[in-house]
Structure 1
Amino acid sequence: MDALQWEDVVARRIPAAQRRSDFINAAVEVIAIHGIEGATTRRIAEQAQANLALLHYCYDSKEDLFADVYEFVAGKFREVLTASDPHSDLMATARQLLRGVMEFYLESASFTAAALELISWAGRQHGNRGIEVYDQALETARAVLRGASSDHPVEPEIINQIAYVIAALADGFALNWFTYGDRSAATEQMDISISVLDSWLAARLGTAPVEL
């Protein structure tokens, strides 16, 4: 048995779910570096340290793999937003949601690059995958915000507006971080973005802005 055959035997002993997870993570890394068009199955298999046959054993097609990649991205946004919930009042919750997403972007450069590429590519292809990712992230943010305002309910439109502002500020931060890759500047821009959110919330909710 040659080395390639032995690798294939060993790899097949790893649960399929784990292997699919490996390929999804590898696809994110490859997309971050090469973009959608350059994310070939061969590159993804190499990134996952697996042979190409194993990738095709786990996925019937590249489209099936990318469907899981989109779901992974949407799930990661849900996970980050939920984990950022401070279980506090509306204003504190809004600013922590924004900070949580920006901190995740800062520490996950490959994810940031891949998410931007996936969403923009889906838009260019007139597909709804990117819209679904965005919609799911917004709905998670709205759910967390609704929970924070349960003791002092606000109009649904205000919740929608807060979620939109958080998304807009986070998107701007992500694009700047992706473009320049300057960690020191990005750290300062996080504080600026949060101060912008605080000022907007103060004006919208009629409360005093939080001092940084």
Structure 2
Amino acid sequence: MDALHREDFVPRISVAQRRSDFINAAVEVIAVYGIEGATTRRIAEQAQANLAMLHYCYDSKEDLFADVYDFVAGKFREVLKDSDPHANLADTARQLLRGVMECYLESANFAAATLELISWARRQHGDRGIAVYDQALETARTALRGATSDHPVDAETIDQIAYVIAALADGFALNWMTYGDRSAATEQMEIAVSVLENWLTVRLGSSPAAL
């Protein structure tokens, strides 16, 4: 094949795929270097692309970070929506907590980048940082409201359950990204679930399995 025309036969990567690559690369770079150290050059290198391609896909780093926020929020939505729609309230709560922790366990860098993004956004762009957290909590509330139960559960209780799930998952994420001990993290997941179960028993006045 004529070398002059060989490049015409090289498969082209779509802009959508390139954007996905840059988003995933940004998560990794943010986890290692923080927001301030997440330069477009480092992100392009992590994505194994040239800087010009990144600027072709995104007009600015802010535009890229906006997609990163959407990616993080989307991950939480996927995890939380995977709960069994026919489960009772306690089972749904356990599934939600375990699902978020497993998402963090899958990637310590995702956990680190998520906490960094929310913290940074809260400082720089308050509404955006709050929005990511709010979306995750509302998805959890929706799943909890849809759970089957023989006992009526008021909105305040649903809010409290969602908050406890978030608090336990965040604590797990911080410990996991700090120590990186997968064996210990797996054990801590079970501890967190048992804490939730005991709290549900006290809050709702019945055994979790019956709720």
Report the TM-score, using the length of structure 1 for normalisation.
Answer: 0.90
- Give CA deviations for 1:102-131 in whole Å, capped at 9, x if unaligned: 111111111101001101111222532211
Equivalenced residues, count = 204
Partner of 1:208 in structure 2? 207
Partner of 2:115 in structure 1? 116
Report the Cα offset of residue 192 of structure 1.
Answer: 0.9
RMSD (CA atoms): 2.1
Partner of 2:39 in structure 1? 40
After superposition, residues 1-212 of structure 1 pair within 5 angstroms as 13-85=12-84, 87-149=86-148, 152-209=151-208
Amino acid at match of 1:207: S
Higher relative contact order (CA 8 A, sep 6+): 2
- Give CA deviations for 1:5-42 in whole Å, capped at 9, x if unaligned: x9x98999322111111110110011111110110000
The answer for unaligned runs of 5 or more in structure 1 is 1-5
Amino acid at match of 1:33: V
Report the Cα offset of residue 84 of structure 1.
Answer: 3.4
- Cα distance in structure 1, aligned partners of 2:165 and 2:120: 23
Amino acid at match of 1:18: Q
Once structures 1 and 2 are overlaid, which stretch shifts more, 93-102 or 126-135?
Answer: 126-135
Report the Cα offset of residue 195 of structure 1.
Answer: 0.9
Report the Cα offset of residue 151 of structure 1.
Answer: 5.9
Amino acid at match of 2:76: F
Report the Cα offset of residue 96 of structure 1.
Answer: 1.1
- Cα distance in structure 2, aligned partners of 1:171 and 1:110: 14
- Give CA deviations for 1:63-86 in whole Å, capped at 9, x if unaligned: 000011011101111111112346
- Cα distance in structure 1, aligned partners of 2:171 and 2:186: 14
- Cα distance in structure 2, aligned partners of 1:86 and 1:195: 22
Contact 2:72 2:114 in 1 (8 A): yes
- Cα distance in structure 1, aligned partners of 2:152 and 2:21: 43
List structure 1 segments (4+ residues) > 4 angstroms apart after TM superposition.
8-12
- Cα distance in structure 2, aligned partners of 1:64 and 1:10: 32
Using a 3 Å threshold, how does the CA distance of structure 1 residues 60 and 150 change in structure 2: closer, same or farther? farther
Identity, % of aligned positions:
79
- Cα distance in structure 2, aligned partners of 1:170 and 1:105: 9
Contact 2:18 2:57 in 1 (8 A): yes
The answer for unaligned runs of 5 or more in structure 2 is none
Using a 3 Å threshold, how does the CA distance of structure 1 residues 146 and 188 change in structure 2: closer, same or farther? same
Contact 2:83 2:143 in 1 (8 A): no
Report the TM-score, using the length of structure 2 for normalisation.
Answer: 0.90
